[in-house]
Amino acid sequence: MANPAEGSEARGKDEAEVYLGYDELFYSRTDARGIIRSGNDIFQRVSQYEWSELLGAPHRIVRHPGTPRGVFRILWDAIQKDNPMGAYVKNRAKSGGYYWVFAVIVPIPGGFLSVRLKPSSTIFPKVQEIYARLAPWERDGRVDPEDTARRLREAAEAEGFSSYTSFMAYALAHELTSRDAQLKRQSDPRTRLLADLNQALETIMREQVGILHSFEALQSIPNNMRIVASRLEPSGGPVSSISENYKAASSRISERLRSFVIGKDNIYDRMSREVARALFLLGCERVVDEMRKRFAYHAPVEGIDWAAEQVMLLEVEKESAIRAHTALQTAAELAEALTRSSRDIRRQMLGLDTIRVLGRVECGRLREAGSALSSTIDQLDKFHEDIKLRLEKITSLSEDIEGLIARHLRLEATKAA
């Protein structure tokens, strides 16, 4: 079957947008190879293909060259690991027209389920700009999709996010909230809480990286102290001892922070993944529930058993709720560990502060001869103040995160009751 999406891009300048309402949701279900096995009437109407053309066709039949292939590489990498994922996607209808969606893709037994809604948040225009730069670069330069995926991750970092997954989780929360506003209905408080949680995590990440940089900058200061000491006292004197003790203590904290922030499977990364997982699953639960209830009004379609489809969607909805709850419980445990670690590092900083004060005392003892040492201690004062403020912020945010997760779990319990 010919795919219009693979045709000439020249006509893209004249293509018209296909109507998709904010109140509409559509989905498609594929097997493990990406072959379309089912969908709903909105998918069929917007794509403009007949059911006979859609069922059994590869999902790329609706692919638009305006969506960088790197997007699909990221999606595929996630769902192959049984992780839900989201993305903005520009699709092409059979007529050559286009339509934008925010898609949530969830692995299900035997394949994948994609739920899509019309994007309307303030994040959407930013992503359109990114795609407008990357798609031609990828296509005209015959660039490997993995290179485009790397550029997309860099773009997410430029927006202040630690990962593309976190960026898309944040985007989904805002798309759901914006859709509620477009439809003039009350937004889901669980979605707002998860969005706040995601943002708090990103702030913690930035503060942790800032602390790590401060500690790395500190590593040169004990060396400077030893150089000063060699001019002021015999080998092994008080200042030399202070510099050695400071270097050893700060190195221990620095190593702890490095594994805490950038080590493999560090606490932050694990928490971020669990919160993103919960957001994607919650979004899936919400829209599948809304969409499933519309299946009773579908006209018969050869090859699709609507009753069986409703049962399958109900199972997806229930499973999404269970998996989201599990993800948040795991995130709650990690948040508690994060708080404990932050407090532990603050206690270690007290010991480092004691060594710094001893250095200040030596400055006073040496009087004028210790002016160079005093300048070095002034540098320590500056870094210690920065680290102290960041640690206080991290500890406070960690406690906030624990509170947000507890509130979300209470809301879930209320909803279930």
Number of compact structural domains in the chain: 2
**Is 282 contained in some domain?**
yes
Could you tell me the two tokens for 188?
């889901």
Is the pLDDT confidence value at 107 over 50?
yes
Report how far apart, in Å, the C-alpha atoms of 58 and of each of 35, 69, 75, 313, 340 are.
Answer: 4, 15, 16, 21, 49
Residue 40's CATH number: 3.30.450.20
**Within this chain, do residues 232 and 356 fall inside the same structural domain, yes or no?**
yes
**Is 274 contained in some domain?**
yes
CA dist 106 and 288 (Å) reads: 11
**Within this chain, do residues 109 and 208 fall inside the same structural domain, yes or no?**
no
Q: Which of 87-101, 303-317, 377-391 has the lowest mean pLDDT?
A: 377-391
**Is 389 contained in some domain?**
yes
Query: What is the per-residue pLDDT for 3?
Result: 45
The overall average pLDDT reported for the chain is 84
Is the pLDDT confidence value at 29 over 90?
yes
What sign has the CA pseudo-torsion 116, 169, 408, 179? negative
Counted residue by residue, the chain has a size of 417
**Is 15 contained in some domain?**
yes
Q: Which of 23-37, 135-149, 317-331, 349-363 has the lowest mean pLDDT?
A: 349-363
**Within this chain, do residues 117 and 209 fall inside the same structural domain, yes or no?**
no
CA dist 350 and 391 (Å) reads: 12
Which of 110, 140, 170 corresponds to the end of one domain?
A: 140
Q: CA geometry: angle at 228 spanning 227 and 233, to 5°? A: 105
**Is 365 contained in some domain?**
yes
Could you tell me the two tokens for 138?
């990828």
**Is 154 contained in some domain?**
no
Q: Which residues pair with 99 in a beta bridge?
A: 91
Q: Which of 68-82, 147-161, 246-260 has the lowest mean pLDDT?
A: 246-260
Is the pLDDT confidence value at 237 over 80?
no
**Within this chain, do residues 61 and 129 fall inside the same structural domain, yes or no?**
yes
> Per-residue confidence at 180, pLDDT binned at 50, 70, 90?
very high
> Per-residue confidence at 370, pLDDT binned at 50, 70, 90?
low
Query: What is the per-residue pLDDT for 57?
Result: 97
Is the pLDDT confidence value at 51 over 90?
yes
Residue 327's CATH number: 1.20.1260
Which residue segment(s) compose the domain that 106 sits in?
4-140
Query: What is the per-residue pLDDT for 7?
Result: 41
CA dist 357 and 349 (Å) reads: 12
Is the pLDDT confidence value at 343 over 50?
yes
Query: What is the per-residue pLDDT for 9?
Result: 42
**Within this chain, do residues 55 and 199 fall inside the same structural domain, yes or no?**
no
Query: What is the per-residue pLDDT for 16?
Result: 93
> Per-residue confidence at 75, pLDDT binned at 50, 70, 90?
very high
CA dist 302 and 324 (Å) reads: 34
Is the pLDDT confidence value at 12 over 50?
no
Helix runs in 142-219, H state only: 145-158, 164-182, 189-218
Looking at residues 294-317, what average pLDDT do you find? 83
**Is 166 contained in some domain?**
no
Contact 104, 283 (CB under 8 A): yes
**Within this chain, do residues 117 and 235 fall inside the same structural domain, yes or no?**
no
**Within this chain, do residues 255 and 383 fall inside the same structural domain, yes or no?**
yes
Contact 172, 320 (CB under 8 A): no
Query: What is the per-residue pLDDT for 416?
Result: 67
Which stretch of DSSP H or E encloses residue 38? strand 36-39
Query: Torsion over CA of 291, 295, 297 and 300, rounded to 10 degrees?
Result: 140
**Within this chain, do residues 254 and 373 fall inside the same structural domain, yes or no?**
yes
Query: What is the per-residue pLDDT for 278?
Result: 86
More confident residue, 90 or 338: 90
Which stretch of DSSP H or E encloses residue 257? helix 238-261
**Within this chain, do residues 357 and 256 fall inside the same structural domain, yes or no?**
yes
Is the pLDDT confidence value at 254 over 80?
no
**Is 326 contained in some domain?**
yes
**Within this chain, do residues 133 and 228 fall inside the same structural domain, yes or no?**
no
Which stretch of DSSP H or E encloses residue 26? strand 25-31
Is the pLDDT confidence value at 126 over 80?
yes
**Within this chain, do residues 133 and 254 fall inside the same structural domain, yes or no?**
no
CA dist 371 and 12 (Å) reads: 70
More confident residue, 215 or 261: 215
Contact 130, 155 (CB under 8 A): yes
**Within this chain, do residues 217 and 74 fall inside the same structural domain, yes or no?**
no
Q: Which amino acid, 284?
A: C
Q: Which of 79-88, 151-160, 244-253, 277-286 has the lowest mean pLDDT?
A: 244-253
Looking at residues 240-258, what average pLDDT do you find? 80
CA dist 79 and 279 (Å) reads: 15
pLDDT (tens digit per residue) in 372-415: 777 778 888 888 888 888 888 888 887 888 888 888 778 777 77
Could you tell me the two tokens for 2?
């010919």
pLDDT (tens digit per residue) in 323-337: 888 988 898 888 888
